Structure 1
Amino acid sequence: MVLYSIKSYLKFLWNSKNQHGVHSPFVYNLVTKCFYDKTNYEEYSILKSNHKSANYPISSKQVNLLFRVVQYLQPKSLLEIGSSLESATSVFSLGHKNAIISSQNSSSEFYDLIYFGGNSSKKEILEYFEMLLPTSINNTIWIVNAIHGSKDMEEAWDIIKNHPKVTVTIDTFYLGFVFFRSEQKKEHFVIRA
């Protein structure tokens, strides 16, 4: 498993780019104004404290990135699913205090952001993907944790990013970002975040 992760990470580094390799205005703005935002937000100290006391399946760097993404995009409704429910809820609530955050799925609802937390399996992620696809509207963002955590997760990530309804994906190695933007051509980005 460790050897697989090292090999995957070296491949990621070889293929990854920074903002200079991005030609999509939407992704360029997301990368420069959000991913690479160097502001030392006061919420980071709260997140750091919560991170120490909780059993987050992601690093504090990833927690801060999730906070910045929610703060930047300001999604009104968020859904957190997976094996580590509620670990990201505090991150999301700090990023957008007025967001409606749920860890229960109702297929009749539409979500602006869906976070697939925990260390899910390929089968589980793809089942969630198919189940939640009808709840995605234009500009919905999905964030998938541990996309390079195993060979199965990499296979699931490839299936997701090649789905016809998915238009933009961003691979940051630990987190995968999925966008449904009908106005944008299909593109896949590998970004050092």
Structure 2
Amino acid sequence: MNTLIHFSQYICYYLTARNKHGIHSPFVFQLLTEVIQTKRFYYNRSEKHSALTSRLLSHFKPKSIVEIGNYNLSEKSMIYHQNFQNIKEDLIDFIYIQKATPETLNKALKYMHNDSVLMLNNIHQTKEEWKFLQNHSKLNVSINLFYIGLIFLREQQEEQHFTIRF
């Protein structure tokens, strides 16, 4: 991606992103304070994303995890690679997608339930897919962390989309 375009996208993100004080959803506020925002400084983005993934897995304690893409989720979290053809579960608790395509997203949605977490990498490189998920009637909560997107299907919550500083 062109550096100037990437920089301008980040500036727009930063100007519209909120911190935890602008969040009125109890679920998202708790997620921000307990999992997403930490006081630790990370020297590179990869380390920061791996730590976030580890904290998300610790917080949600998923029984079934699927990773789609060519990226190692986190060596610390001991994730096994699977793909949708080999899934024996009806529903999946945590889905990580490295490179989102409409086909992959539609398949992932079939396996999501009320407590599922869908984590997408590089959401600004796949803007159309991110917008597709935000506008999907089945999905209620989305969190934009600039490089990472989190999607939740929470039937008890009204539809809300958050842009959070990370």
TM above 0.5, one fold? yes
Give the whole-Å Cα distance in 2 for the aligned partners of 1:178 and 1:137.
Answer: 12
* Alpha-carbon offset, residue 39 of structure 1: 7.0
Q: What amino acid maps onto 1:134 in structure 2? A: K
How far apart are the structure 2 equivalents of 1:68 and 1:36?
A: 10
Moved over 3 A (4+): 37-40
- The answer to whether structure 1 residue 81 and structure 2 residue 57 are counterparts is no
Q: Does 1:111 align with 2:92?
A: yes
1:129 pairs with 105, 117, 120, which one?
Answer: 105
Aligned partner of 2:57 in structure 1 is: 70
1:36-61 deviation digits (Å, cap 9, x = unpaired): 23479xxx9xxx9xx9xxxxxx6111
User: Which structure 1 residue ranges, 5 or more long, are not aligned?
Assistant: 52-57, 94-99
**1:12-161 matches, cutoff 5 A:** 12-38=13-39, 59-84=46-71, 87-93=72-78, 101-105=80-84, 106=86, 109=89, 110-117=91-98, 120=99, 124-148=100-124, 150=125, 153-161=126-134
> Whose helix proportion is higher, 1 or 2?
1
Return the offset for 1:31: 0.1
- Determine the C-alpha separation between the residues in 1 that align with 2:119 and 2:144: 10
- Note the alpha carbon deviations across 1:53-91, whole angstroms, 9 max, x for none: xxxxx611111111111111111111000132xx11524
* 3-state SS of paired residue (1:92): coil
Change (3 A) 1:39 1:11: closer
Q: Any stretches of 5+ residues in structure 2 without a counterpart?
A: none
% same residue: 32
Structure 1 segment 3-14 matched on structure 2, within 5 A: 3-14=4-15
Aligned to 2:156: 183
